Amino acid sequence: MIRTELDAAGVADPALRLAYRHCRRIAAQHGRTYFLATRLLAPDQRPAVHALYGFARHADDILDEFDPALDTATRARRLQRLSEHLFAGGRHRQEPVIAAVTDTIGRYGIAAELFEDFLNSMRMDLTVTDYPTRAALNVYMRGSAEVIGLQMLPILGTVGDPDEAAPHAAALGRAFQLTNFLRDVDEDLQRNRIYLPADELASFDVDRELLLWCHEQRRTDPRVRAALAAQHDITRTIYRFAAEGISALAPRSRPCVSTALTLYSEILDRIEASDFSVFSGRATVATSRRLRVAAGGLLRSWRLRLAESYQQDHGAA
């Protein structure tokens, strides 16, 4: 299967094939919903998507890997080294993640500033623990979430002007991350971070102290529940805007994105169904449900690819 993907993508160099395989393993191990959705892409698209995930995951591990010996200064140096290696003009291709993502950037003409924005947001995680307003949070999410959707856009393809699809792609990245923020409030607190606008929380009389109390008691205070419900509604609105952009994507990419949107937005359903009990458990979508949604997407994907193949053959004839 991997051979088919790499051959379809035109990756012939043996070392580069190993690099892409490395990124594929990272995606399969750490991004279950993400990896499942990528199975709905055409084989030639998958290696590039795995490379983007592998790079983002590598940066995230630098920030969040639990190791008392890794202080902020050490993590900052490692993140800076990652940045330097990425922009070193291919001189660090012996590093699998760098080799694969550099090749992907070149193949698809992905803008370098999208990676610069991403790394800038990763640097914010070294020192920033709270966001006073949504505007401040949006600055962070520009690099940590929106650019992921924009990096993906050249791989997914569009039926018209990519600039028209870009706002929706960025919104989808933002919606996914806001979903994570709601699901992982408790986990983020343990890293001393709060990824919810402080002023919006304050309108419900919620602050860091109350969130820490919820963590210690393993239950959600009614004020926190109301605040999280408001954040939930905001995230739903962003999902609706993101969904409007699916029709702008190349037809063969729509089942993948639609499936990912459905599965991730259902995490919001699980959070709401639990009455926002995010301090006593982690909301997940059942494996059986994920497989059912993916199966429907796979069928649509196959039909679209068959139709595309027929049209190409018919046109050639």
Query: Which pLDDT score is estimated for 220?
Result: 97
Is the distance from CB of 131 to CB of 195 less than 8 angstroms? Answer: yes
Query: Which pLDDT score is estimated for 194?
Result: 97
Please, what are the domains in the chain? Answer: 1-110 (1.10.600.10), 128-316 (1.10.600.10)
CB atoms near residue 70 (< 10 Å): 14
Is the distance from CB of 290 to CB of 263 less than 8 angstroms? Answer: yes
Gap between the Cα atoms of 73 and 309, Å rounded: 53
To the nearest whole number, what is the mean pLDDT of the chain? 89
pTM of the model: 0.87
Gap between the Cα atoms of 70 and 76, Å rounded: 10
Query: Which pLDDT score is estimated for 307?
Result: 53
Of the pLDDT bands very low, low, confident and very high (cuts 50, 70, 90), residue 36 is confident
The three-state secondary structure class of 249 is strand
CB atoms near residue 96 (< 10 Å): 21
Gap between the Cα atoms of 210 and 84, Å rounded: 41
Of the pLDDT bands very low, low, confident and very high (cuts 50, 70, 90), residue 304 is low
Query: Which pLDDT score is estimated for 90?
Result: 63
Query: Which pLDDT score is estimated for 310?
Result: 45
For the chain, percent of residues with pLDDT exceeding 70:
87
The lowest-confidence range among 49-53, 213-217, 279-283 is 279-283
DSSP letter (8 states) at residue 160: S
Which tens digits make up the pLDDT trace of 179-238? 999 999 999 999 899 999 999 999 999 999 999 999 999 999 999 999 999 999 999 999
Query: Which pLDDT score is estimated for 13?
Result: 94
Is the distance from CB of 255 to CB of 297 less than 8 angstroms? Answer: yes
Which tens digits make up the pLDDT trace of 126-156? 999 999 999 999 999 999 999 999 999 999 9
pLDDT at residue 305 greater than cutoff 70: no
Mean pLDDT across 17-42: 89
Place of tokens 């610069």: 116
The lowest-confidence range among 86-100, 172-186, 215-229, 253-267 is 86-100
CA nearest to 145, candidates 174, 187, 167, 121: 174
Query: Which pLDDT score is estimated for 1?
Result: 58
Residue 281 carries which side chain, given as an amino acid letter?
G
Query: Which pLDDT score is estimated for 263?
Result: 87
Mean pLDDT across 58-76: 84
Q: How many angstroms from the chain centroid is the CA of residue 94?
A: 25
Encoded tokens for 163: 């600039």
Query: Which pLDDT score is estimated for 317?
Result: 46
Stronger pLDDT, 183 or 67, i.e. the higher one: 183
Q: Give DSSP secondary structure letters for 254-311.
A: HHHHHHHHHHHHHHHHHHHHTTS-TTS------HHHHHHHHHHHHHHHHHHHHHHHHH
Is the distance from CB of 177 to CB of 155 less than 8 angstroms? Answer: no
pLDDT at residue 297 greater than cutoff 90: no
Gap between the Cα atoms of 228 and 205, Å rounded: 12
Query: Which pLDDT score is estimated for 203?
Result: 98
Of the pLDDT bands very low, low, confident and very high (cuts 50, 70, 90), residue 294 is low
